[in-house]
């Protein structure tokens, strides 16, 4: 089940007002609650007040209780797919309708009380879902249906949903005695609390490095002006638009070292122990369930199937990529030696971004600051819209004066180009602010699903942290920012263009080691002349990016492809190592593991005294699944090869991609979807070619 939802209630004259829910008169529905919309209604985010999320959460959980009662009251001999399996999906959808928007508010709302309420709602809902997954009466109802002639004759998405449901029950401990299942329930609830605490500690953490004029040498004037303090120093904080440029352009080795030390110690005081507790609880969980490790548990229902396949994948990829990584480092060492006047043998981690840019400038005559001039945020947005609309046969319409949670947030409707019918909606929350989610992600707002009233229109919010326009210059994106934008918007369209009948299969409800593939595939459009020429325009003159500069960018595409891929392998191996036999109660700490693996896998030695794992949020959300980033990249590049063959703006290929990959979501095994789109068995040729190997 996905993890995003919403809720709301209203206080009038000091009394909470309710109306009867017409669908089920036993449950009273709060009126004027921004999170409780009518069918296919729009959330009134701007109207959210303290208490709304809490009351909406209570309402949907009470409604879910009634829906559960209805499912259980059906006699076993009368069980059907509709009154049992679809009814369970309906129950999940009811909860999701508040969980998704509430979770989004937990990471984006400007008021702390509402953020806290959103996260508390998520905790409450996750505990409810844990109880539901361990409800013996519901399990027996599904088992009873599974024995009917209808169940035995199921095919397609219906058969898959039943099989997935039965596997989920096995993974929840239903082959165990009740006492053991109660232990599983307790552990799931404890893990829910720990996971939310881990993420919140990262979001809440703030730190700043104050540097001198000499230490900002090399940085653009606009960057310096935005951070200049009254005492003449410059304030460099931790969000990407501040951190990344400083690490890439500051000529001060010492200041970069200090900033990275702070960055890699984010949430250290609070999260090191939380991470240990998460790993310990996961170990405890799989011991009860009978798995050898959490890694085995997590891969069972993924494309990888087992830990051995993941280890083989990571180790094989490492061996393929290491020679390219060594070549990348050698290029940087030459420039470092020349700059320092000594024979350099090591690139320190706080030097990696800096010397990467030096390589671009000196060996390819490519200046990232010059490139930024051609990627103004609004131009990029319009170009991205043009590409996605043409490929997928849709058009986007901006909503005027939308009800949103911050003035920067934009809202759009998505229409099918042929039928002119409304398909769904999306929100763009693209600039940093205090206490906002610090990375880039697509958050579900409403999940797609077929209902008695018609199809529930999905909605997704894209949350990023790109440089905000200032009085000194507009929002100018790095090329990496543009790639991130195309990637995350890929998740967005995966959610919005779904056609799955069940919410449990809708959009990105696919195995975690495939969920990145559709988005990674769409990153390729930021490396093609044909697509870049649509939106890469100088922010002052409006001139399209010249071929000379484009050629330099494309030529430099695989600069550091080896070191970057090794960094991703390091993240995946770190995550898998912590979940495949590691015991935090032993003599080895997570910091010891980070040190060992970073020094073994990457060419950048670990910075002493740092604890990057404390703010590596994917250790919570992905847990033994981060390998999926590189795993899915293989399928992504293979799928892109079809566009390379037919034309990157070919609408027919794009529409087929929409129908086969995006529209079907989790209705079929992802390997079958990829085979259907490719018209052949997948292979890794396009992937290795994309790395310049």
Q: What are the residue numbers of the active site? A: 488
∠ CA 431-122-132, rounded to 5°: 145
CB 251 within 8 A of CB 218: yes
Question: Can you read off the two tokens belonging to residue 91?
Answer: 């129950």
d(CA 530, CA 386): 12
Cα separation, 209 vs 256, whole angstroms = 10
Least Cα distance to 672 among 519, 555, 549, 514 occurs for 514
Gap between the Cα atoms of 39 and 588, Å rounded? 53
Phi–psi pair at 617, nearest 5 degrees: -60, -25
The closest alpha carbon to 350, from 614, 603, 565, 607, belongs to 607
Those residues with Cβ within 8 angstroms of residue 169's Cβ, 6 or more apart along the chain or in another chain: 133, 139, 142
In which element (H, E) is residue 492 found?
helix 479-496
Tokens of 500: 């799955």
Q: What is the CA 209 to chain-centroid distance, rounded?
A: 28
CA 661 and chain centroid, separation: 18
- Report CA torsion sign: 338, 340, 341, 347: negative
> What is the Cα–Cα distance from 200 to 195, expressed in whole angstroms?
9
The C-alpha atoms of residue 334 and residue 303 are separated, in whole angstroms, by: 42
DSSP code, position 228: B
Dump the DSSP string for 326-340. Answer: HHHHHHHHHHHHHHH
Does residue 4 contact residue 96 with C-beta atoms inside 8 Å?
yes
Q: How far is CA 19 from the centre of its chain?
A: 37
User: Could you give the 3-state DSSP secondary structure of residue 235?
Assistant: strand
Question: How far are the Cα atoms of 45, 46, 112, 123, 266 from residue 109, in angstroms, in the given order?
Answer: 9, 10, 7, 17, 22
């Amino acid at each position: 089940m996905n993890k995003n939802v919403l809720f709301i209630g209203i206080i009038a004259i000091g009394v909470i007002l309710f109306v009867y829910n017409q669908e089920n008169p036993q449950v009273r529905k709060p009126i004027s609650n921004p999170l409780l919309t009518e069918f296919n209604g729009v959330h009134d985010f701007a109207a959210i007040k303290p208490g709304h999320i809490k009351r909406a959460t209570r309402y949907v959980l009470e409604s879910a209780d009634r829906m559960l009662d209805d499912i259980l009251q059906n006699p076993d001999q009368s069980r059907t797919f509709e009154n049992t399996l679809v009814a369970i999906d309906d129950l999940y959808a009811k909860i999701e309708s508040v969980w998704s928007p509430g979770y989004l508010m937990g990471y984006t709302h400007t008021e702390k009380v509402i953020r806290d309420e959103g996260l508390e709602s998520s905790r409450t809902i996750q505990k409810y879902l844990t109880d539901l997954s361990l409800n013996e009466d519901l399990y027996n109802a599904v088992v009873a249906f599974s024995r009917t002639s209808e169940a035995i004759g199921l095919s397609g998405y219906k058969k898959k949903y039943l099989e997935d449901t039965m596997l989920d029950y096995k993974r929840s401990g239903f082959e165990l005695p009740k006492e053991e299942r109660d232990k599983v329930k307790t552990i799931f609830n404890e893990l829910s609390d720990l996971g939310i605490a881990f993420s919140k500690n990262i979001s809440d953490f703030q730190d700043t490095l104050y540097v001198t004029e000499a230490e900002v040498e090399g940085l653009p004037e606009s960057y310096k002006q935005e951070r200049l303090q009254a005492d003449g120093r410059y304030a460099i904080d931790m969000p990407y638009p501040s951190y990344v440029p400083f690490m890439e352009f500051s000529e001060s080795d010492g200041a970069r070292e200090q900033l990275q030390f702070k960055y890699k110690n984010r949430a250290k005081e609070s999260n090191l122990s939380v991470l240990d507790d998460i790993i310990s609880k996961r170990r405890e969980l799989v011991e009860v369930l009978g798995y050898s490790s959490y890694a085995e548990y997590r891969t069972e229902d993924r494309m990888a199937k087992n830990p051995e396949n993941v280890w083989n994948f990571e180790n094989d990829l490492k061996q393929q990529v290491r020679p390219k990584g060594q070549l990348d480092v050698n290029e940087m060492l030459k420039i470092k030696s020349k700059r320092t006047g000594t024979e350099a043998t090591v690139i320190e981690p706080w030097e990696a971004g800096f010397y990467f840019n030096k390589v671009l400038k000196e060996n390819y005559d490519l200046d990232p600051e010059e490139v930024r001039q051609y990627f103004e945020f609004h131009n990029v947005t319009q170009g991205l819209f043009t590409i996605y609309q043409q490929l997928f046969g849709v058009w986007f319409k901006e909503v005027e004066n939308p009800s949103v949670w911050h003035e920067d947030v934009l809202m759009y409707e998505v229409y099918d180009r042929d039928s002119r019918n409304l398909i769904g909606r999306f929100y763009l929350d693209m600039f940093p602010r205090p206490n906002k989610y610090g990375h880039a992600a697509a958050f579900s707002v409403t999940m797609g699903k077929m209902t008695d009233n018609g199809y529930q229109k999905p909605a997704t919010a894209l949350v990023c942290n790109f440089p905000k326009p200032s009085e000194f210059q507009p929002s100018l994106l790095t090329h990496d920012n543009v790639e991130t934008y195309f990637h995350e918007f890929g998740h967005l369209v995966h959610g919005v263009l779904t056609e799955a009948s069940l919410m449990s299969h809708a959009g990105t409800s696919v195995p975690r080691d495939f969920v990145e593939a559709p988005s990674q595939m769409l990153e390729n459009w930021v490396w093609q002349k044909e697509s870049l020429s649509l939106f890469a325009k100088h922010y002052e003159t409006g001139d399209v990016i010249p071929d000379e500069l484009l050629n330099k960018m494309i030529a430099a595409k695989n600069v550091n492809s080896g070191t970057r891929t090794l960094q991703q392998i390091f993240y995946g191996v770190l995550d898998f190592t912590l979940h495949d036999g590691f015991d935090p109660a032993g003599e080895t700490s997570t910091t010891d593991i980070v040190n060992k693996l970073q020094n073994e896998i990457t060419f950048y030695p670990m910075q002493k005294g740092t604890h990057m794992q404390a703010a590596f949020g994917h250790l919570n959300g992905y847990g033994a699944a981060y390998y999926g980033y590189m795993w899915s990249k293989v399928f992504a590049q293979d799928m892109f090869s079809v566009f390379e063959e037919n034309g990157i703006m070919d609408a027919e290929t794009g529409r087929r991609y929409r129908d086969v990959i995006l529209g079907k979501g989790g209705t079929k095994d992802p390997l079958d979807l990829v085979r259907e789109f490719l018209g052949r068995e997948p292979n890794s040729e396009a992937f290795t070619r994309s790395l310049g190997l």
